[in-house]
């Protein structure tokens, strides 16, 4: 009787080292992170800023004061061309289109988010007031020459309109004072109170209630011009190129003196 013994060879695998275990774990974590990032690429992918809407979060060089309205608007021509660090080659004009782009300045810049109220009230106005337009003879209430609170259309420009209406306004893309103060600067707007009530027109024989010769409170049509009409009606009002008879027709013109001078409102 013959007994055959087969030899059995065992294959022993080496155990992974600590370095290999850490490497495999890091690879696994990186794969999980990429999977999470690809599932949610942005926080709100459906919200998009308008073509003429400034970025509310933009701060040039991360300076809290360097926003589109406070920093860029003062020197728009120069600052809109600057590169923004860490933006992939974008310029300031890409973040402040309402301040930098000409096509956005032709209408009121929609600085408020146009898509913010689409879900709650889709028929509501996407901008602050797109239908409200600065009238052809309406002065801008917010205009301040050189950002000086006292240099408004009425207090500053109206004193020397011939000289000051031609001045350029810094940071306005070449616009002049007359573009912001048409009621003060344009001749076709020189009716009685064009800014407060542009549809109200003074009569041919009605004195101007707001007229003050050389801005002196006591020099009105009735108190000053009426004392010496032959002499004073021919004088010119400084800064207007018009004579006093234009502002005081009831006092100066003969045809108006044939009837009762309608210095008060004739229709009341």
The reported pLDDT for the residue numbered 131 is 36
CB atoms under 10 Å from CB of 137, counted, come to: 17
Are 171 and 214 members of one domain? no
Residue 128 belongs to a domain: no
Residue 226 has a pLDDT of: 92
Predicted confidence at residue 106, as pLDDT, reads 60
Does residue 94 lie in a domain region? yes
For residues 183 and 213, state if they share a domain: no
Q: Which of 75, 90, 105 is the last residue of a domain?
A: 105
Q: What's the confidence (pLDDT) of residue 7?
A: 55
pLDDT of residue 94: 92
- 230: in domain: yes
pLDDT of residue 268: 43
Q: For position 261, what pLDDT does the model report?
A: 45
Task: State the burial class of residue 46 (Cβ atoms within 10 Å of its Cβ: 0-12, 13-18, 19+).
Answer: exposed
- Predicted pLDDT at 166: 92
Q: Which domain holds residue 89?
A: 60-105
Listed residues 78, 105, 132: the one ending a domain: 105
In a domain, residue 2? The reply is no
pLDDT of residue 195: 42
pLDDT of residue 1: 60
Contact 100, 84 (CB under 8 A): no
Q: 195 in a domain, yes or no?
A: no
- Residue 235, C-beta contacts closer than 8 angstroms, at least 6 positions apart: 213, 243, 244
From 155, 189, 223, the end of a domain falls on 189
CB contact at 8 A, 248 and 233: yes
pLDDT of residue 254: 87
Residue 238 domain-assigned?
Answer: yes
Predicted pLDDT of residue 20: 73
**Count of the separate structural domains present in the chain:** 3
What average pLDDT values come out for the chain (268 residues) when binned by 10 residues?
56 63 77 66 52 88 88 89 90 91 64 45 44 65 88 88 91 90 83 43 80 89 93 89 89 78 46
Residue 18 lies in a domain: no
List Cα–Cα distances, 5 to 1, 2, 12, 84, 183, in angstroms.
13, 10, 22, 82, 118
Q: What is the CA radius of gyration of the chain?
A: 37
Q: Is residue 121 part of a domain?
A: no
């Amino acid at each position: 009787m013959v007994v055959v013994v087969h030899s059995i060879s065992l294959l022993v695998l080496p155990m992974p080292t600590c370095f290999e275990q850490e490497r495999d774990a890091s690879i696994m974590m990186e794969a999980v992170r990429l999977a999470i990032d690809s599932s949610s690429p942005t926080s709100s992918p459906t919200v998009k800023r308008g073509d003429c809407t400034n970025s509310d979060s933009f701060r040039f060089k991360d300076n809290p004061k360097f926003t589109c309205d406070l920093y860029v608007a003062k020197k728009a021509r120069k600052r809109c061309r600057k590169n923004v660090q860490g933006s992939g080659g974008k310029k300031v004009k890409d973040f402040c289109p309402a301040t930098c782009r000409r096509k956005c300045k032709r209408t009121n810049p929609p600085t408020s988010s146009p898509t913010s109220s689409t879900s709650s009230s889709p028929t509501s106005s996407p901008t602050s007031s797109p239908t409200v337009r600065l009238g052809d003879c309406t002065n801008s209430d917010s205009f301040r020459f050189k950002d000086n609170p006292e240099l408004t259309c009425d207090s500053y420009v109206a004193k020397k309109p011939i000289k000051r209406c031609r001045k350029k306004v810094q940071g306005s893309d070449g616009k002049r004072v007359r573009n912001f103060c048409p009621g003060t600067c344009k001749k076709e707007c020189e009716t009685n109170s064009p800014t407060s009530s542009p549809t109200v027109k003074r009569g041919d024989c009605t004195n101007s209630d707001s007229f003050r010769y050389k801005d002196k409170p006591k020099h009105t049509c009735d108190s000053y011009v009426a004392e010496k009409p032959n002499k004073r009606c021919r004088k010119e009002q400084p800064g207007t190129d018009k004579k006093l008879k234009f502002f005081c027709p009831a006092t100066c013109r003969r045809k108006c003196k044939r009837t009762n001078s309608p210095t008060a409102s004739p229709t009341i």
